[in-house]
Amino acid sequence: METRELVIIGGGPAGLAAAIYGARAALNPLVLERGVPGGQAATTEWIENYPGFEDGIGGFELMVHMQRQAEKFGAEFKNADVTGIKKENGVFILNTSTGEIAAKTVIIATGAEPKELGVPGEREFRGRGVSYCATCDGNFFRGKTVAVVGGGDSALEEAIYLTKLVEKVYLIHRRDGFRAAKVIQERAKANPKIEFVLNTVVEEIAGERKVEKVIVKNVQTGEKSEIPVDGVFIYVGLKPNTAFLEGFLELENGYIKTDENMATAIPGLFAAGDVRLKDLRQVVTAVADGAQAAVSAEKYLEGNK
């Protein structure tokens, strides 16, 4: 079995950036991606906050450019799902859906997926009014009315952020209390643009060609009603794609802990992007993580020659 210098697990922005930097360093990186390269970013209809594109760029288009750039420098891509990992005699052995792969260094860039509500209309209107990132998509709803679903820090913080852009925010939560920090709750309650809809769950997201309303139910009375909105921002949690690491690497709430050089507690193993334990999860931060991880992998290999 051939031992690769660098294997990158995940082909989203972090993985693609790592592939570009790794290929330019002549590490001949192999990128393993279980789906279409680009990750969550490829499903984003329009990205307006990525530097260098003053008019914005489609998420899929940006990811295609990144993949082509990585391939231009010599990165190799393979469709495979990694199901397990171990380290033997200083070499990582990856169990994949297409067989075992050995690597001297590994960068984990498998990302994190937003948890879904699982209601009718959610997937159908994703990118057409349903969003999981106010920082990414809030600008599309300037002067409009939106709903935010959730009760944690992220839900309330993003609701507050959206009030800078939209006319009104309905904050829908299934309980009458919030998990968010008290100071964040106080800020949200003091904001005149936020209307709280408590003890309520979303039963359906509806519209014709785009989101037009949410159908909600009061969990105490069972009464159903409709709230007219132009968009729905869902914050019921994130799920990092790290199941294959259980028993191999210590995780914190499923996320990978790294130092500023993207190194994990296991020498030669690095992590980048949304799968890493950090505050801001954006395309631009994922790309920065990927670049740093590849540089760190190169230095690790040099030091172990």
Residues serving a catalytic function are 133, 136-137
Instruction: Specify the pairing of strand 194-197 against strand 82-88.
Output: unpaired
Contact 102, 6 (CB under 8 A): no
Q: Which tokens go with 25? A: 């360093």
CB atoms near residue 275 (< 10 Å): 29
Strand partners, 113: 239
Contact 7, 106 (CB under 8 A): yes
Helices (H), 33-107: 59-72
Cα-based torsion angle of the residue sequence 24, 29, 32, 38 in order, rounded to the nearest 10 degrees: 0
Largest CA distance in the chain: 68
